[in-house]
Every structure is written in C-alpha cells, then in structure tokens.
Amino acid sequence: GQNIDQPTEMTATEGAIVQINCTYQTSGFNGLFWYQQHAGEAPTFLSYNVLDGLEEKGRFSSFLSRSKGYSYLLLKELQMKDSASYLCAVRESAGNKLTFGGGTRVLVKP
C-alpha cells in the first residue's frame, strides 16, 4: 500500500512564495505528480518527477528525493488565482493508477 502525507492547509500573501511538502512511503515508485484542483473542478497537471532533482516550469517548481521519500512543490510570485488545492500523487510500479495524498488547500491573501 501507499501512504502519502501533505499539509492540510497553507496561507500565503500575494506575490510571496509557498512550498508544499509531500512525503510518501510506498513499496514501489514509478513517478510523482503534482496536480492543481479548484473546488468542484478537475485536477490539472502541474509537474512530474521520476528522477531526483528539481523540475522548473515557470512559476512552479517541483523537487524529488527518492531516498527520502520526499517531494515539494514551490509556487513563486503567488497570484490570487493560485488559491486552490494542490494534490501530490504517486504512481505505483505496477499499473499506472495514481494514489493521491489528501491535498493541500492554499489560500492566497491580498
């Protein structure tokens, strides 16, 4: 089975930086995904890590350490529209399904 933990909620100010941590314990590992989800809408893909290191994509960056079972999503230059839930999801070695963490609700304040 898989155990994926991330903080429940975070608050940050517009223009600031927020880091959302995700730790996982899995019997196998075949990649970690970050998705953004606004309330009542579909998750949208943000980033993917399968090797250790940092992946940068505009204002969003994601880091992975497989030996530590740890990832983070970094959101820079926060905008009000970034207020959403951010889901950390791990792909098991077998099959391609995603197992999601509980999601981190980020609230951006003016």
**How far is CA 50 from its chain centroid?**
13
What's the token pair of residue 103? 């999601």
The verdict on 25 binding other proteins (CB under 8 A) reads: no
Query: Interface with other proteins includes 87 (CB under 8 A)?
Result: yes
Amino acid identity at 52: D
> In this chain, which stretch among 9-17, 25-33, 55-63, 75-83 interacts with other proteins, using CB under 8 A?
25-33
Tell me whether residue 3 or residue 13 sits nearer to other proteins (CB atom). Answer: 3
Stretch that binds other proteins, among 14-22, 44-52, 64-72, 76-84 (CB under 8 A): 44-52
Phi, psi of 63 (to 5 degrees): -125, 145
